[in-house]
Copies of this chain bind each other. A is one copy, B any other.
Amino acid sequence: MAGTRTSYHHGDLREALLSACLQLIDTEGLAAVSLRRVAREAGVSPAAPYHHFADRAALLAALTSRGFELLTADLTAARADAPDPRAALTVMGETYLRFAQRHPSYFRLMFRPELTRSDKELPHDPIGDQAFVVLADVVAEGIRAGALPAGDAETLAMGWWSLAHGLASLLLDGQLAKRATMIGTDADTLSHRVMTLFAAALDAPPA
Chain A interface mostly helix, strand, loop or mixed?
A: helix
CB of A119 closer than 8 Å to a CB of B: no
Nearest-neighbor residue (CB-CB) of A202 within chain B: B201
Docked Cα-Cα span, A162 to B202, in Å, equals 16
Docked Cα-Cα span, A128 to B182, in Å, equals 14
Q: How large is the interface on A (under 10, 10 to 19, 20 to 34, 35 or more residues)?
A: 35 or more
- Which of B115, B169, B203 has a CB less than 8 Å from the CB of A165? B169
The complex is assembled from copies of this chain, and their number is 2
Q: Which residues of A contact B (CB under 8 A)?
A: 29, 31, 111-115, 128, 132, 149, 151-152, 154-156, 158-159, 161-167, 169-170, 173-176, 179, 182-183, 190, 193-195, 197-198, 200-206
- Which of B132, B162, B203 has a CB less than 8 Å from the CB of A166? B162
- Evaluate contact between A198 and B31: CB separation under 8 angstroms: no
